[in-house]
Amino acid sequence: MIHAPRPEVLRYLGYRGGAQPDQATAALLEARIQAVEGAAEPRWTSVEVPLTLRPGGVELGGWSIDSEKLRAHLEGCTAALLFGATLGVGVDRLIARSAAGQVARAAMDQAVAAALIEAVCDHACNQLAQRYSGQYLRPRFSPGYGDFPLTAQPELLRRLDGPRKIGLTATDTCLLAPIKSVTAVIGLAKTPGRCHAGGCATCSKVNCTFRRDTK
């Protein structure tokens, strides 16, 4: 079973510099960690596609994407993986129930779920690194980062067969459903680069309240 790392949960809740919640808050948080993990049904999928770099963007198996930042991120890669992961609808339902008048519990559920989906993605990428032994995975780069448009979500999911394989879809506004889900492009390279951890490692928003140290 994949668990939500407690330090990451606390980071999402705004605890900094080693600060810890009081006893009552800590007890509630542990209960919410168990509740979210119990409601989660983590699933992930990936598909390898050919990669061509071009001025102003990339071609991923015939899919043309205009994104200078994605192109720079995939520099030196020979192929790419389209990737999707989700915690499932159970977590969405749990968060919705908590949001109905239980503000503290809802905030904790959100934080736990955010930490848990990142842990699921990291676990999946560790498995992919073993599958592609001898190659190097670049960090996950998701629609919505930099100039990689959020409108890429539906096509990414179509190419992943996300709805059928893991129950992951996109809304009319290109948000993921279930909400606690991630899609990304992962570069495959013959030479080492930055590790395959995603999240803050690939985000250019350095003044984000929830940013972890990536040095």
pLDDT average, residue stretch 102-127 = 97
Map out the domains of the chain as residue ranges: 6-202
pLDDT tens profile 146-168: 999 999 999 999 999 999 999 99
Res. 213: pLDDT tops 70? no
Q: Does domain 6-202 have CATH number 3.30.465.10?
A: no
Residue 103 pLDDT exceeds 50: yes
Angstrom distance (rounded) from CA 200 to CA 183: 15
Tell me the sheet residues that pair with 46. 83
DSSP state of 80: E
Angle, in degrees to the nearest 10, between helices 103-131 and 23-39: 50
| Cα 26 off chain centre by | 26
Residue 38 vs residue 101, higher pLDDT: 38
pLDDT score, position 212: 53
Does the structure show a pLDDT above 90 at 215? no
In one letter, which amino acid is 27?
Answer: A
Please tell me the total number of residues recorded for the chain in this structure.
215
3-state secondary structure of 68: helix
Give the model confidence (pLDDT) of 171-201 as tens digits.
999 999 999 999 999 999 999 875 445 455 4
Stated pTM of the model? 0.89
The one-letter code for the residue type at 84 is G
Q: What tens digit of pLDDT does each residue of 6-38 get? A: 999 999 999 998 999 999 999 999 999 999 999
On average, the pLDDT of the chain sits at 92
Task: Please report, in angstroms and rounded to a whole number, the separation of the first and last CA atoms in the chain.
Answer: 29
pLDDT at 200: 52
**Residue 101's pLDDT is what?**
85
pLDDT in tens, 41-56: 999 999 999 999 999 9
Question: What is the distance between the alpha carbons of residues 45 and 165, in angstroms, rounded to a whole number?
Answer: 7
What burial class does residue 210 get, using C-beta atoms within 10 Å of its C-beta: 0-12 exposed, 13-18 middle, 19+ buried?
A: middle
